[in-house]
């Protein structure tokens, strides 16, 4: 069994009420230490007000080969964007 501490991915909520955002990763023996280490490694300059850590092995990710089938279908559906529809100026703001 490897003696290396598990890898954790670190997410930080910035000051302005935004979602938690991935900032990087680190090694730690458990969640508690991962939070402490993340505080030291990723928030030395007021980067955030809340931390999430999750063990990297628990993250499922889409693979680059699926990029086409997964994301291309939305390219043809331009009507999902409001700019697709022309609204006459007389109608006012919509």
| Integer Cα distance of 59 and 8 in angstroms | 10
15 binds other proteins (CB under 8 A): no
Using the rule CB under 8 A, which residue among 15, 17, 19, 44 binds other proteins? 44
72 binds other proteins (CB under 8 A): no
Concatenating the DSSP letter of every residue in 32-76 gives: HHHHHHHHHHH-TTS--SEEEEEEGGG-----GGGHHHHHGGGGG
Using the rule CB under 8 A, which residue among 14, 25, 39, 54 binds other proteins? 25
| Integer Cα distance of 49 and 24 in angstroms | 16
Which of the ranges 11-19, 20-28, 72-80, 82-90 carries the binding residues for other proteins, by CB under 8 A? 20-28
Q: Which residues bind other proteins (CB under 8 A)?
A: 2-7, 24-30, 33, 40-41, 44-45, 61, 63-64
């Amino acid at each position: 069994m490897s003696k290396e501490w598990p890898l954790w991915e670190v997410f930080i909520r910035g000051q302005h009420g935004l979602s938690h955002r991935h900032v990087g990763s680190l090694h730690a023996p458990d969640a508690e230490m991962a939070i402490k280490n993340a505080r030291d490694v990723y928030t030395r300059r007021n980067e955030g007000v809340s931390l999430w850590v999750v063990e990297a092995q628990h993250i499922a990710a889409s693979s680059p080969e699926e990029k086409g089938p997964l994301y291309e279908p939305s390219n043809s559906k331009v009507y999902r964007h409001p700019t697709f529809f022309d609204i006459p100026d007389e109608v006012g703001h919509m």
